[in-house]
Amino acid sequence: MTAAKPTAKKTAGGKGVSKGGRPSKYKPEYCEAIVAHMAEGASATSFAASIGVSRSTITEWASEHPEFSAAVTRGKTMCAAWWEKLARTNAMTGDGNATLTVFGLKNMAPDDWREKQEVEHSGGVTVTKIVREIVRPQNPNA
């Protein structure tokens, strides 16, 4: 007697069946919905909560549906633009919460707004001399 193997099947309309057999909640209209949601400065996690799924589901859909992956990328760009506009407004008016804005920019647009700088070195390093010394403790009774 052999056990049946779970399979992932695609159905009409882009909806799939997960390996566990549960139908996917993915809907093609989520592509534009996530872009609109993130254009207001919100995260993909916030979008997930608004439609009743987990953040990991958003990641899974992005890997299974190229059009959704592209929408998430557009959404992230729109989100970063929203936070940058807020930062400029706050800087010009002196209003707003600077700390919140800084964290928003660092988290929503890390490629452009981060404190960590990465430095790459090309070429070689030449070591001309290695010195090895033995340091003896001084006599505490002296």
| pLDDT, tens only, 78-105 | 999 999 999 999 999 999 999 999 999 9
Give pTM, 2 decimals: 0.67
Amino acid identity, position 27: K
Lowest mean pLDDT among 21-30, 38-47, 131-140: 131-140
More confident position, 19 or 26: 26
Each domain of the chain, given as residue ranges in start order, spans 14-108
In the chain, what percentage of residues exceed pLDDT 70? 82
At 83, list the tokens: 């936070």
Q: Is the pLDDT of residue 50 over 70?
A: yes
Fold classification of 14-108 is: Arc Repressor Mutant, subunit A (1.10.10)
Check if the beta carbon of residue 31 is closer than 8 Å to that of residue 68.
yes
Report pLDDT for 64: 97
Torsion on CA atoms 89, 93, 96, 101, rounded to nearest 10: 40
Average pLDDT over residues 62-75: 98
